[in-house]
Structure 1
Amino acid sequence: MGLGIEHLVELRTWRAFDVDEHGRVLAGWDETGSTQLVELSPEGEVTPLTALPGACRGRYLPGERVVVVQHDDGGNERGQLSLLRLDPAPPLPAGLADLEPLVRDPRHVHRLLDVLPGRVAYATNRRNGTDFDVLIRNLFSGEEEPVYDRGGYVDEVAIAPDSHYLAVTVPGAPALSDRLLLVDTIPEIEDEQVLPVTEADEHARHDHLFWLPGDRGLVVTTDRGRDLLGVARYELADESWSWLVTSDQHELTGWLSPDGRLLLVETNDDGVARLSLHDADTGAKRHDVRLPGAGWVSFPLPEPIWSPDSRYVALTYSSPVTPGDVLLLDAHTGQVRTLTDSAAQLGGEPLVEPTAHRVPTPDGESVPCAVYAPVGTGDGALAGSAVVLVHGGPEGQSVRVFNPVIQGLVARGHTVVVPNVRGSVGYGKRWYSADDVRKRLDSVADLAAVHDWLPSIGVDPARAALWGGSYGGYMVLAGLAFQPERWAAGVDIVGISSLVTFLRNTADYRRAHREREYGSLQHDHDFLVDASPITHVDRMRAPLFVIHGANDPRVPLSEAEQITSALRDKGVECELRVYADEGHGLAKRANRLDAYPRALDFLARYLSTRP
């Protein structure tokens, strides 16, 4: 039957957060059950750094043996910032009491943006609970300087080396659009502090911001004026744009080295990424980055990060058969060193690689899908069944990384189909905009097209279920509500049951940001009601398994409670599992070990041919 879900959830994974000029990597490792900070030497030696109650992340302070740690309480996403000083080395791993408080106010969100010598830049909503301001804290004097307080949900910030300018992105008017602003920290005229580079109504993304040497401009990943993301240069002197690297087939993302000489480029090929190094002045490719396996890397999360001296790049590597490793790229030689070996935990047991497909829809579109087909033994009573797993977002993409749920479902005997329905990123602006606001139910209709296509891959359409988290949870509930004749069961993780109550009750700082995508309570209320699964609960008949975190600030627990209550009132089986120390998803292994086996057993009861 292969590896069971318990064994798969138990697999330890690694991720890279930062790298210094000596090739030491600040990494995340979930050995203790949640992601904690460790330090990896260039030879792969491990030094545990933190032992906090929940997951954390961090960055090195340039030029010092100091780590800036971001942590929250039980997944509530109200990040707090602390310092961990490594010289002299303290007793490790450090608990919360061992950290030096830097920015602490548990009532508000503090999000680490960037680190500079002696300074830390972060965003916080403490001024009014909604808008995010950008502050730079001087670690020597303790003083804080507000450098952007014009409102909105600040996404990315890049600080020029001399700190004269900041590049900031805030949401634009169209869904998934970013407005690029320049902030002059020492303006001659106060009204000219914020200089717009792009307009609010421009339908384009602008992210991955990097300053060119001499602060003369920026390198930006953008799809302005085109369908697919590419890497562009913006010159401050004449306010001009030029393309560095583009593709007519794939979306590209770029990371500029600190010295401005090299550009690491990621090519998104249907959810699999390839990396290459380019000349940052001309965009010309120098060479491809050779990676483990067949030379492919599945989307690194966290993203690649350069060392301050531009020599090293720390990478997080995962594939369907590799749980998660840290790689160290030497940009001078082009060589990649694998610092960890997560696949060794598999003990030679094979995992399943997917095959790529395109599912036609009645309106002439084509939905990209990855299919994981069972091999070997497994439960014969589940042969021919399918689980359709939908990603969150909505502006997400299912990519070819290790997923214990997928591999656990396949090991049981299910065929797992992973679509990138309309609204997904990775396939261009037209596709990610195809579900905006009143086109929401077009993405739900893609689930029906996937269901009707299942017989072509040998699946019994009468034994097909839905599984999804966050927006994917909404899609599960919407599929069961709008297509009740198609689906035999569902698993909803932190999903939205009512778009209206979700928007009313989500964190204040997220509401306006999310209304661009879903529609506004003021102008689209009737549509939001009609597109909500709970409005059509009388049509729902498939059994449902619901998982939610009690501290979820994005999709409040009330979304799970109200759909569960409504289904139980009409006699539909609905099991709800609530985890008191979780937020938007399950970050702790102990909770995943409790929830996922129960969910898989639940599906097996309804997808099995056994009476």
Structure 2
Amino acid sequence: MDATETSDVTEVTEETGSRQQAGPPDDAAGGPGELRHTSSPCLSPDGLLLACVVTERTGYPRAVQRPLGPDGFKGAGPERNVVLPVEGPVRRVAYSPDGRWLACEVAPDGGERERIWLVTTDPDDHRAYALNAPGDVTEQIVCWDGGRLAVTAFDAEGQAEGRLVDPETGEITVIDRRMGGALKHSRDGAALFRVGARGNRELLRIMPDGRWWPLLPTDTGSTTDAGEVLDAGGDDRPMRMVVRSDYSSDRVGLLEVRADESGTTSWPIAYRADADLDRVEVSYDRRTAALLWNVHGGLSEIEILDLSRRRPRVIARPQLPEVVASAPTLTADGRLLAVTVESLDQPPHVVIYDVRRRCWIGESPAQPDPGPELLRFTARDGLELSGWLYRADPEGGPAPTVVHLHGGPEGQSRPGYDDIARRMLDEGVNYFKPNVRGSTGGGRTFGHADDRYGRFAGIDDVEDALLHLVDEEIADPERVVVSGRSYGGYLVNATLVRHAGRWRGGIAACGMSDLQTFYRDTEPWIAAAAYPKYGNPLQERELLREVSPLRRFYRINVPMLFIHGAHDTNVPVSETNQAVEELRSRDVPVDVLLFEDEGHEFVKLANRQLLGDRVVQFCQEVFDVRAQVDGEE
């Protein structure tokens, strides 16, 4: 990319450059007052550098680079910030195959619309190159295809354009354009492009000349949403891919697919009856793959596959304690693996595994204390549910309890780091994180169990979770609060309406209050993808009205705390505003916490401290009032 193109290039001066950080990127805890989260790692192809995202007590999450020593972090060089000419959290970083470029995905002002900037790995080069094109609303890093960066860009109408960008010249090659789709991988110009709405996604294989075909035959309700091209194919050989899919299965695993103009052949490489495949990462030489498995209700396991053989085989299973792992990255030759791990008492931090020596180098993942407890219970219609329970006093009787609901609906409550749960435990409050129907991790059938008219049963799962806690003498029924974020915030609104009288308070963060206004105001690609989950706004208006809590907010008579980010375009802040207005019109106690510098996620640690303070204060007030009433009786 020509550095004379001043509209696209920004030079960062030495004064704004990074400080030299002595502590390693994997020092998640740091010293007193130096809390650090490290996540989203990327190893340079030669394994000499590690880039990752660092979050500290002040500022947005930022990108850093650090030279690695022979034993990973041991003997590593000083950390160097990647300084970008934009304020906002960095969400992903990716090295080019030659190690010269680092791509950074940033959300300006903490919102939901991303931009991509390129920097070189030369510590003396302070320039940053913007990749946005006219008409782009948001852009996302996909991967590197040789010397070109593959990206997905959305316009204001929701059309997704998969493209390759040459960082040296700025030349753009368009791979494909689809409404609501996304480019997922590209190699040698051959690509995988995702199409379809949530719960029914598939991949198209696209040839360098623009011809395309569905990758797999139709399997209604299956999700084939990610993969990597191993070989672009040619006149004498088929195109080869590995894809993450629950095709013809109730569980998500890894398929190998070979396809040419005569047809497609696929077969399973890695499937488990008791687990779903979270992520697959393939080394650039296409000989090694790292698989992250979602097991035992949300814990993680790792497998390393040798892809060079005719029949891929497992060559390593790095030992993990009861933690959650994410964002695997391999060196080009598959020699090193870096991954983010976390647990309730360990913030996200990056660890490194030596694949050849079969050992963790530097700090290895540690067993959490307290360890997570998976609680299983049965819904009123017989469906088995589960959730993660943290008890303030494991030997005590019924106690004040918060039931917290994850987003999605396809999200999952997992025993990862949870700063709010830790605060609740310190206050003597139990914290339960159920996985209601529709959650990830329970298989394909379970994931579809809340689709459209199944929404009512999904809402009832929330009450069933509470009833189980009461029956088991875990929760005091007079001191229970329901909380949730995003879809979980919607469930808070919905259960307070549908199960009025069960809860003593509600905390709704970024939650929908009316699905019809949500469809109207959210991003167009988010709305279109949600139709199979919530219902079609044209064909199923009656359903959407019935499952929209706002219409029955007159049933809510308990205190509520609403939390939102001002830059949230996923669930716009108008969803909170109309809920607050309705409750205040009836003098229901309402508190609102609005973050002016956040979007759908609350990523600044200073903001999360404030969030924790307000949640603790709200629960103390609700529980203390109820305790006083009980004492008077």
Cα deviation 1:250-283 (Å, max 9, x = unaligned): 2234333333333322222110011122333424
Please report how far the alpha carbon of residue 439 of structure 1 lies from its aligned counterpart in structure 2 after TM superposition: 0.9
In structure 2, the residue matched to 1:419 is 434
Distance between the aligned counterparts of 1:58 and 1:587, measured in 2?
A: 17
| Equivalent of 2:143 in 93, 99, 114 | 114
Matched, 1:39 2:72: no
Structure-1 residue corresponding to 2:161: 133
1:457, 1:422 → 2: CA distance?
A: 24
Please say if 1:256 is aligned against 2:282. Answer: yes
Give 1:521 deviation, angstroms: 0.8
Q: Distance in 2 between matches of 1:196 and 1:180?
A: 6
The 1:88–1:576 alpha-carbon spacing in structure 2 relative to 1, beyond 3 Å, is closer
Query: Residues 314 and 23 (structure 1 numbering): CA distance in 2 closer, same or farther, change over 3 Å?
Result: farther
SS for the counterpart of 1:552 is coil
The answer for the alignment partner of 1:177 in structure 2 is 200
Relative distance call for 1:357 and 1:39 in structure 2 (3 A) is: same
Q: Given the two structures, how large is their TM-score scaled by the length of structure 1?
A: 0.89
Output the CA distance in 2 between the equivalents of 1:587 and 1:24.
25
2:274 counterpart SS class: coil
1:397-428 CA-to-partner distances (Å, cap 9, x unmatched) read 11111110111111111111110100001110
2:185 counterpart (158, 161, 173): 158
Residue 89 of structure 2 is aligned to residue 55 of structure 1: yes
Identity rate, percent: 24
Letter in 2 for 1:153: G
Match of 2:173 among 123, 145, 150: 145
* 1:334 aligns with one of 358, 376, 385: 358
Q: How far is 1:105 from its partner? A: 5.4
Cα displacement string for residues 121-179 of structure 1 (whole angstroms, at most 9, x for unaligned residues): 111123x5311011111222221111101x2222352112x22x11111125xx42211
Q: Report the Cα distance in structure 1 between the residues aligned to 2:87 and 2:369, rounded to whole angstroms.
A: 32
Q: For residues 222 and 474 of structure 1, do their structure 2 counterparts lie closer, same or farther at Cα, with a shift above 3 Å needed?
A: same
Unpaired segments ≥5 residues, structure 2 = 1-30, 234-238, 629-633
- Cα RMSD, aligned residues only: 2.5
Look up the match of 2:316: 287
How far 1:599 moved relative to its partner? 1.8
In structure 1, the partner of 2:20 is: none
CA distance in 2, matches of 1:561, 1:602: 19
How many residues are aligned here? 574
User: Structure 1 residues 467-476 or 115-124, which shifts more?
Assistant: 115-124
Q: Of the candidates 77, 82, 86, which is equivalent to residue 112 of structure 2?
A: 77
CA-CA distance at 1:104 after TM superposition: 5.6
Q: Which has the higher contact order (CA 8 A, sep 6+)?
A: 1
**Could you say which residue in structure 2 is the equivalent of 1:315?**
339
Give the SS at the match of 1:103: coil
Q: What TM-score comes out, normalization by structure 2 length?
A: 0.86
> 2-side partners of 1:341 and 1:12: how far apart?
16
Counterpart in the other structure of 1:562: 578
Give yes or no for contact 1:466–1:491 (8 Å, CA) kept in 2: yes
Structure 2 counterpart of 1:489: 505
Q: Is residue 475 from structure 1 mapped to residue 491 from structure 2 by the alignment?
A: yes
Q: Which residue of 2 aligns with 1:549?
A: 565
Whether the aligned pair in 2 keeps the contact of 1:465 and 1:488 (CA below 8 Å) is yes
Query: Which residue number corresponds to residue 445 of structure 1?
Result: 460
- 1:486 corresponds to which letter in structure 2? R
Equivalent residues in 2 for 1:124-523, closer than 5 Å:
124-126=153-155, 129-149=157-177, 151-160=178-187, 162-163=188-189, 165-172=190-197, 175-187=198-210, 193-198=211-216, 202-213=220-231, 215=233, 216-237=239-260, 238-253=263-278, 254-269=280-295, 270-280=297-307, 281-291=310-320, 294=321, 296-300=322-326, 303-338=327-362, 352-375=370-393, 384-455=399-470, 456-523=472-539
Q: Which residue of 1 is the match for residue 547 of structure 2? A: 531
Give yes or no for contact 2:225–2:245 (8 Å, CA) kept in 1: yes
Counterpart AA for 2:103 = V
CA 1:424 to 1:115, structure 2 compared with 1: closer, same or farther past 3 Å?
same
Q: CA separation of 1:607/1:234 partners in 2, compared to 1, >3 Å: closer, same or farther?
A: same
462 and 589 in structure 1: CA distance in 2 versus 1, 3 angstrom threshold: same
What is the alpha-carbon distance in structure 1 between the residues aligned to residue 413 and residue 312 of structure 2? 28
